[in-house]
Amino acid sequence: MSIATIIKTMRPAFLVLTPICVFLGASLALSEHGSINILRLCLITAAALLAHISVNMLNEYSDFKSGLDLTTERTPFSGGSGALPAQPCVARLVLNIALTGLGIAISIGVYFAITISSAIWPFIVIGTSIVLSYTDLLNRRPWLCFISPGLGFGLLMVTGTDWVLTERYNVHSWLIAIIPFLLLNNLLLLNQFPDLDADAKAGRKTLPITYGVAISSRVLLISSLLAVLTLLSLIFAQVLPLLALIALAPISLGFYATSGVIKYGARIGAYPHYMAANVIAANVTPLVLGVAILAT
C-alpha cells in the first residue's frame, strides 16, 4: 500500500478552494456579528474539506473502474491524478476512505442540525447528493454537471458557513455567493475541454460534448460577464464595499482563459497558462471578496 497514492487521489492541490469558500462565508458572518464561534468554524471547515476530499476520491475511483483513466490525456488541471492505474491494489481502500470521510462530514452536519436548527438539513441533503452522484449521474446531465461545482462550493459552502456562524439565513450572503457560483462553474467547464474525447467514450455528457466547443465557450464568456455584473451591482447596492472592486482583477483572468478556449478549443490542455488563469480567477476572487469585507 502506498500512502502517497492515496494522498494523490485526494487531489490536495485543489483542496485550497474549500477553506477559501469557508473564509468568504466566515467573513460575512464576522462583519455581521463582530465575533464568531471558533469551534463551529473549525467543524464546518472540517466537514467541507472532508466532503471535497470525498468527491475527489470517488471521482478517481469511478474513473479507474470505468477505464477512463487509461484513455484520458492529463494536464496539470484536468484528467485525474493517474494514481490508481499506477497502483490499482489500493482502489478499494480509496473508496472506503471516501465514504468514511463523507460519513464524518454528514455527522458534523447532523450535529449542527441537532444543536442549532433543523434548517441546515437542505445543505446536508443537497451537498451529500452532489458528492455521491457527481461522477456517475451528474456527468451525464450537462447542465446539472455544469452548475454542480458552483452549487456545492459557491452557494452551499459560503452560505452554509454564514448560516452556521450566525444561525440565520442572510440574503446578502446568497447574493454574494452568486459570484463564486459563476466562476466555479467555469472552473470545471474549462477543465472538461481537454477531456472531451475520453469523456465522450466513457458515456459522459458534459456541455462541450453535448453542445460543442463553440457554445460551451460562449457559456464561459457569459458566466464571466455575469460575475462582473453581479459584483458591480452588489457594490452599487452597498451589499459589498467599494474595496471589492479589486476583485475585478482576478475575474478578468476568466476572460483571458475564455479567449484561449475560443482560439484552441479542445486543444486548450496544450496551453496550460489559460487553464491556470481560470483557476486563479475562481480561487482568488472569493478570497479577495472575503478580505474586502473584513477590511471595511
Q: HSE (CB half, 13 Å, CA atoms) of 12?
A: 6
d(CA 98, CA 96): 5
Q: Any idea where the domains of the chain sit in the sequence?
A: 3-294
pLDDT at 77 over 80: no
Percentage, residues of the chain above pLDDT 90: 76
For the chain, the farthest-separated pair of C-alpha atoms sits apart, in whole angstroms, at 56
Specify the 3-state DSSP secondary structure of 78.
strand
Are the C-beta atoms of residues 179 and 209 closer than 8 Å to each other?
no
pLDDT at 254 over 70: yes
Q: In DSSP terms, which residues pair with 78 in a beta bridge?
A: 75
Q: For position 88, what pLDDT does the model report?
A: 85
List, for residues 218-239, the tens digit of each pLDDT value. 999 999 999 999 999 999 999 9
Average pLDDT over residues 254-276: 93
pLDDT at 157 over 90: yes
- How far is the CA of 88 from the CAs of 53, 83, 91, 219, 248, in angstroms? 19, 8, 5, 37, 44
d(CA 285, CA 51): 22
| Nine cell digits for residue 144 | 446539472
List, for residues 167-216, the tens digit of each pLDDT value. 888 899 999 999 999 999 999 999 999 888 888 887 889 999 999 999 99
